[in-house]
Chains A and B, each alone.
Chain A
Amino acid sequence: MLLLAVSIVISLSIGSAGISIRDVWGILLHQLPWLADQPVPYSSGEIAIVTQVRLSRIWLAVLVGACLALAGTGFQGVLRNPLADPYTLGVASGSSVGAAFIILFGLQAALGLWTIPLVAFATGTVTLLGVFWLSRDKGVMQIETLILSGVIIQSFLGAFVSFMVSLSEGVVNQILFWLMGSLAMRSWDNVYMLIPFLALGLPLLLVYGKSLNLFVLGERHAAHLGVRVERTKLIILISSTLLTAAAVSVSGVIGFVGLVVPHLIRLIVGPDYRLITPLSAIGGGIFVLWADTLARTALTPREIPLGVVTALIGAPFFAYLLHRRKLKTGGPL
């Protein structure tokens, strides 16, 4: 929590507009109602950059990170698959197909503000079912087969998104936005859109923390201890998919957050999901915030797509997990 607060402060102070740290804080403090009467030493442009652009983007990064990391925690817990995350399972790509379709064909108004996340959720769910169907062999889901199916579907859907974008007047930028994820050019509206999803998903996953702990022992063990296995799985998979869809509809596909964060948290606090779940939400926020800060400042004034940064960190980590798993099981993958 403290780390998150510190990260927000630092990230807020760094940026391409060249406003000094003191001024950033001056502007922020000025927003407090009881200080608003003081004379304004800053230009309205500077104020807009800090309060509209930077602050909203930072909150967006934190919330997107929390959503993705929570979704990853849920997927890993219920599938008992250390390699599962919204990206590797293809759910993120599935959601992006729905969201991109709606945006590129201008159908946003159909169901109001919630059109995009709901459609993203629907296509994400269908994708997840498709991945399960592909990987199921005599009722058993192998860990590696599941991920392989996820990767296949993900590349197929990724091509689909590229195709849709190239059909429209889309520029390369937009394609990149959907395939690699970005938080540029978003606003407070997007932040408000994420909050209800997080407010629903986080408590749900917290309540099921104890059941997820029993899942660690295996589905049968959990059932014998009194867990309603099918119902628990359904609820957790749905909330994880919902969180993914919400995150994807505002930020495009940002990979590996849900993979890296729960693992790091698990390394620190152990296997107890009652701790992993809330800490992953916070950790995810910190991770994406730093990745985004890096994305927008590293090559100023250019922006690196956020997904590029997370993939540069996440993919080697993924490889490391695969390698460790191979050592542990002693056999080929």
Chain B
Amino acid sequence: MIEAQDIVQTVQGRTVLNGLSCSFQKGRMYGVIGPNGVGKSTLLHLLSGVEQPKAGKVLLDGQRISAYPRKQLAKQMAVLQQSGLPPVGFSVREVVSMGRYPFQSWLGGDEQDADQIIDRALSDMGLGELANRKMDQLSGGERQRVALAKLMAQEPSIILLDEPTTYLDIGFQVQLLDTVRAWQQARDLTVIAVLHDLNLASLYCDELLVLHKGKVAAAGAPHDVLTSAIIEQVYETKTTIITHPATGVPQIMLQPNVNF
């Protein structure tokens, strides 16, 4: 379980998170939503331990996250960044095998079953044929798949996703979240995803957290959180909520403010 208690954090002198508290249970998929600049990514950076809050604390299984050695943390938690992987000269396989770094000794000695884990991650992401291609020969969508395969090779129990679908077209968006969701359910993982797209968040997450004015404005299952009133309060725009005809979850219809 991950907990954030009374977090205060500033970004470039501006207070972004102000007394925020939340907790994430094992085996569930969470979506963090909210308007631009509300501190969604900041929260994720704090949860991943790469940044420290100005006040408050982040606990992983009851222990302060800053108390974990970096490698120890990397064995449990993996992060998929918004920016994705850069087009470097490494091959796909080399990049995916970097996911095993936290499990290697300081001399770089590999554990025994590393190759199997890497092979499985590659085939699960449909990268088998691209394994020997260089990263700089791949498209953005393919590189994001490599990033996800690297995540799988890391075999974490907690996954943090920072707007993973931003640079992908809708086909890849669905494919990526399908993969994450299936994987999450198969292995009982905790997933915390910052998502921009409310409809995607509603489709894939067990619970949503709405950030507003430095705090959690609402939290709960999608049909409790995605109401016209809450959306209008947080995003300052009128919307109509309908029920998805196939899945039954709420979906948001945007609504122009002028009549044509």
Contact = CB atoms under 8 A, between A and B. Distances in A.
A40 interface: no
A223 to B, nearest CB: 5
Contacts of B50: 220, 223-224
A217 B98 contact: yes
A272 B108 CA distance: 13
A59 B101 CA distance: 38
A330 interface: no
B68 to A, nearest CB: 10
A196 to B, nearest CB: 23
B79 A224 contact: yes
Interface stretch (B89-97, B119-127, B200-208, B219-227): B89-97
A58 interface: no
Interface string B11-42: 01000000000000000000000000000000
B85 interface: yes
A271 B74 contact: no
Interface residues of B, number: 30
Contact of A220 (B72, B81, B89, B94): B81
B75 A226 contact: yes
Interface stretch (A164-172, A207-215, A289-297): A207-215
A221 B107 contact: no
B166 interface: no
B70 A228 contact: yes
A218 B101 contact: no
Given A216-B88, A220-B81, A225 B98 contact: yes
Nearest to B99: A225
A138 interface: yes
Interface in B83-121: 83, 85-86, 88-90, 94-95, 98-99, 101-102, 104, 106-108
A135 B106 CA distance: 33
Nearest to A227: B70
Contacts of A271: 88-90
Contact of B74 (A138, A218, A226, A272): A226
A223 B102 CA distance: 10
A221 B85 contact: yes
A224 B107 contact: no
Nearest to B162: A220
Contact of A227 (B12, B99, B101): B101
B101 A216 contact: no
A26 interface: no
A207 to B, nearest CB: 7
Given A226-B73, A227-B101, A228-B70, A218 B83 contact: yes
B117 to A, nearest CB: 15
B154 interface: yes
B183 to A, nearest CB: 18
B97 to A, nearest CB: 10
Given A214-B101, A220-B81, A228-B70, A207 B75 contact: no
Contacts of B104: 210
B71 interface: yes
A155 B90 CA distance: 36
Contacts of A228: 70
B48 interface: yes
A228 B77 CA distance: 15
A272 B90 contact: yes
B101 A224 contact: no
Contact of A224 (B74, B83, B88, B94): B74
Contacts of B106: 207
Interface string B40-80: 00000000101000000000000000000011111101110
Contacts of B72: 226
A272 B94 contact: yes
A270 B77 CA distance: 30
B240 to A, nearest CB: 39
A270 B81 contact: no
Given A226-B70, A227-B101, A217 B48 contact: no
Interface string A245-284: 0000000000000000000001000111010000000000
Given A223-B50, A224-B50, 19 more contacts: A207-B106, A210-B108, A214-B101, A217-B86, A218-B83, A220-B81, A223-B70, A224-B74, A224-B77, A224-B78, A224-B79, A224-B81, A225-B74, A226-B70, A226-B75, A226-B101, A228-B70, A270-B89, A271-B90
For the complex of A and B, list the 8 residue pairs with the smallest distance between their C-beta atoms, beginning with the closest. Answer: A226-B74, A226-B102, A226-B71, A271-B89, A224-B79, A225-B101, A210-B108, A223-B50
Interface of B: 12, 48, 50, 70-75, 77-79, 81, 83, 85-86, 88-90, 94-95, 98-99, 101-102, 104, 106-108, 154
